[in-house]
Amino acid sequence: MDAELSVQPVAAASTIKRKINWYLWGTLFIIPEIVLFIIFLWVPIIKGIFYSFYTIDFVDGNHFIGLANYLSIFQDELLLISVKNTLFYMALGILIGFWVPPLIAIAVSELKWFQGGARIIGYLPSAIPAIVLYGMWQWFYDAVGPINSFLQTLGIPQLQFFSPKLAMGSIVLLETWQSFGAATLIYIAAIVGIPRDIYEAAEIDGASVWQRIRYITLPSIRTLMLLLLLLQVITTSQGFQAQLSMTDGGPNNATLTYLLWLNHTAFRDLDFGKASAMGSFMFFVLILLSVLYNLLQRRGEKA
């Protein structure tokens, strides 16, 4: 009996030692990633907030000016224009782009054959380099491009895709085509993870395809849809690459988003202090939106 009692502390100590070694080696493996994460993400964020209180001058040096950069943001007439365009861009992204991946994922999951080929075809646009993508869609949207040529064969008047009214919608259509494949694969993975017994039981009970989608598929991927919605809101709020490449914010500032205005302020006007203030302001707004979203989600789960 005494021998058994003496063995137990030794075994417990050995288990604790193995766990410590396991956590130690795991920590050593992730230290390089943590260091890179701090250097290339948090250090620029902190320095950006710091520089937002200065005028950046590479000749005479930096000078502390307090909140002057932040005040100049709200005094600039481009603030209202860029915020309005950004909100419009976000709304179009949700109305047009957000619903495409789950709908395609559900349709592909209901296929009895060719599911693998459909996944590959859907993902191909995401593999196209940006420079090729924008050049290709410039040709698509051209006055003598394939879209307008097809419309003319149907007797439909030529569309000016980069007019003030259609420019933002044209960019959203481009980005939806380019990015829906990756999100579709995420939704397909979530749908595949739903137990097939539930679908089989529903089929035995006579449930139609729409009833299976409505009462089984959609409730099962609801959390994922909310998460991807939040990510899309954050991503579209920072949209500027397509606007810069396709229209450079035009025509008449119709596609000038907040981040594109920030880019122009920094690299065209060379006002790095104001640009830092704009980036810091956007950073705090996105944090506030994320916190608000999490609070609303937790309140909804409790309800």
Cβ burial of 46 (10 Å; 0-12, 13-18, 19+) is: exposed
Going by pLDDT thresholds of 50, 70 and 90, the confidence category of residue 8 is low
In 3D, which of 80, 235, 282 has the Cα closest to residue 274? 282
Predicted confidence (pLDDT) at residue 12 exceeds the cutoff of 70 = no
Looking at residue 142, the DSSP 8-state letter turns out to be S
- Amino acid, single-letter form, for residue 272: F
| 200-212 average pLDDT score | 81
Task: Look at 130 and 20; give whichever has higher pLDDT.
Answer: 130
* Locus of tokens 């880019």: 263
63 forms bridges with which residues in the sheet?
A: 55
Task: Please name which of 173, 180, 201, 178 lies closest in space to residue 108, comparing C-alpha atoms.
Answer: 180
| Cβ atoms of residues 70 and 271 within 8 Å | no
Task: Count other C-beta atoms under 10 Å from residue 221's C-beta.
Answer: 21
Write out pLDDT tens, residues 174-191: 988 888 888 888 888 888
Given a cut of 80, whether residue 17 has pLDDT beyond it is: no
pLDDT greater at residue 5 or residue 78: 78
- Residue 209, CA distances (Å) to 62, 106, 259 in order: 65, 10, 43
pLDDT score at 14: 66
* Highest mean pLDDT of the ranges 4-13, 14-23, 44-53, 227-236: 44-53
pLDDT value for 79: 92
For the segment 96-105, what is each residue's pLDDT rounded down to a tens digit?
A: 888 888 888 8
172, with CB counted inside 10 A (0-12, 13-18, 19+), is buried
pLDDT score, position 263: 92
Supply the mean pLDDT for the chain: 85
Query: What's the whole-number mean pLDDT along residues 272-288?
Result: 90
The pLDDT of residue 111 is above 50? yes
State the pLDDT at residue 303: 52
pLDDT band (50, 70, 90) for residue 5:
very low
